[in-house]
Amino acid sequence: MGGGYALSSAFDSKAGQMIMVSLLLMAGSFYLGTIFGNNAPIYVSQNSSNSSSSSSSLPVSGTSTFTNKVALTYRKTPLSIPESGMNVCPITYNEYIPCHDPKYVKTLLPVLDVSRREDLERHCPPPEKRLFCLVPPPADYKLPIRWPTSRDYVWRSNVNHTHLAEVKGGQNWVHEKDQLWWFPGGGTHFKHGAPEYIQRLGNMMTNETGDLRSAGVYQVLDVGCGVASFSAYLLPLDIQTMSFAPKDGHENQIQFALERGIGAMIAALATKQLPYPTSSFEMVHCSRCRVDWHENDGILLKEVNRLLRPNGYFVYSAPPAYRKDKDYPLIWDKLVNLTTAMCWKLIARKVQTAIWIKEENPSCLMQNVDLKLINSCDAVDDSKPSWKTPLGNCVQISTQTNSQNLPPRPERLSVYSESLSRIGISQEEFTSDTIFWQKQIRNYLKLMNVSMTEIRNVMDMNAFCGGFAVALNSLPFWVMNIVPMSMKNTLSAIYDRGLLGAFHDWCEPISAYPRSYDLLHANHLFSHYGNNGEVCSLEDLMLEMDRIIRPQGFIIIRDEESITSRIRDLAPKFLWDVELHSLKNKEKKMETVLIGRKKFWAIV
Ligand SMILES: *[C@@H]1O[C@H](CO)[C@@H](O)[C@H](O)[C@H]1NC(C)=O
Ligand SMILES: *[C@@H]1O[C@H](CO)[C@@H](O)[C@H](O)[C@H]1NC(C)=O
Ligand SMILES: *[C@@H]1O[C@H](CO)[C@@H](O)[C@H](O)[C@H]1NC(C)=O
Ligand SMILES: *[C@@H]1O[C@H](CO)[C@@H](O)[C@H](O)[C@H]1NC(C)=O
* pLDDT over 60 at 530, yes or no: yes
Name the closest-CA residue to atom 14, ligand 3. Answer: 334
Residue 209 Cβ < 6 Å to ligand 2 = no
Task: Compute the Cα dihedral for 363, 369, 375, 381 and give only its sign.
Answer: positive
- Give the phi and the psi of residue 123 in degrees, each rounded to 5: -140, 105
Residue among 347, 350, 357 whose CB has most ligand 2 atoms within 8 A, to mutate? 347
- Nearest Cα to Cα of residue 461 among 510, 499, 419, 412: 510
Alpha helix positions (H), 248-298:
253-259
Residue 160 Cβ < 6 Å to ligand 1 = yes
* pLDDT over 60 at 1, yes or no: no
Name the closest-CA residue to atom 1, ligand 1. Answer: 160
Model confidence at 380, pLDDT cuts 50, 70, 90, reads: confident
Give Dmax (Cα) for the chain. Answer: 77
User: Which residue ranges have their beta carbon within 6 Å of ligand 3?
Assistant: 330, 333-334, 337
* pLDDT over 60 at 41, yes or no: no
| pLDDT of the residue at 364 | 95
| pLDDT of the residue at 227 | 75
Average pLDDT over residues 138-157: 90
Other CB atoms within 10 A of residue 39 CB: 6
| pLDDT of the residue at 166 | 67
List, for residues 193-209, the tens digit of each pLDDT value: 788 899 999 999 999 88
Distance 368 CA to ligand 2 centre (A): 25
- Nearest Cα to Cα of residue 535 among 63, 76, 38, 46: 76
Q: What is the mean pLDDT of the chain?
A: 85
Average pLDDT over residues 521-539: 86
3-state secondary structure of 81: coil
Distance 138 CA to ligand 1 centre (A): 10
Residue among 292, 333, 338 whose CB has most ligand 3 atoms within 8 A, to mutate? 333
Average pLDDT over residues 212-222: 96
Atom of ligand 3 at shortest distance to CA of 330?
13
| pLDDT of the residue at 164 | 64
Q: How far apart are CA 243 and CA 220, in angstroms?
A: 8
| pLDDT of the residue at 160 | 84
* pLDDT over 50 at 353, yes or no: yes
3-state secondary structure of 401: coil
Model confidence at 394, pLDDT cuts 50, 70, 90, reads: very high
Distance 528 CA to ligand 4 centre (A): 34
Total residue count of the chain as it appears in this document:
604
List, in sequence order, every beta strand (DSSP E) within 424-477.
457-460
pTM assigned to the model: 0.88
* pLDDT over 50 at 20, yes or no: no
| pLDDT of the residue at 378 | 87
Distance 579 CA to ligand 4 centre (A): 15
Distance 581 CA to ligand 4 centre (A): 16
* pLDDT over 80 at 147, yes or no: yes
Is 398 or 576 the better-scoring residue by pLDDT? 576
List, for residues 438-480, the tens digit of each pLDDT value: 999 999 999 999 888 899 999 999 999 999 999 999 999 999 9
* pLDDT over 80 at 584, yes or no: yes
* pLDDT over 90 at 186, yes or no: no
* pLDDT over 60 at 191, yes or no: yes
Instruction: Give me the percent of the chain exceeding a pLDDT of 90.
Output: 71
Name the closest-CA residue to atom 5, ligand 3. Answer: 337
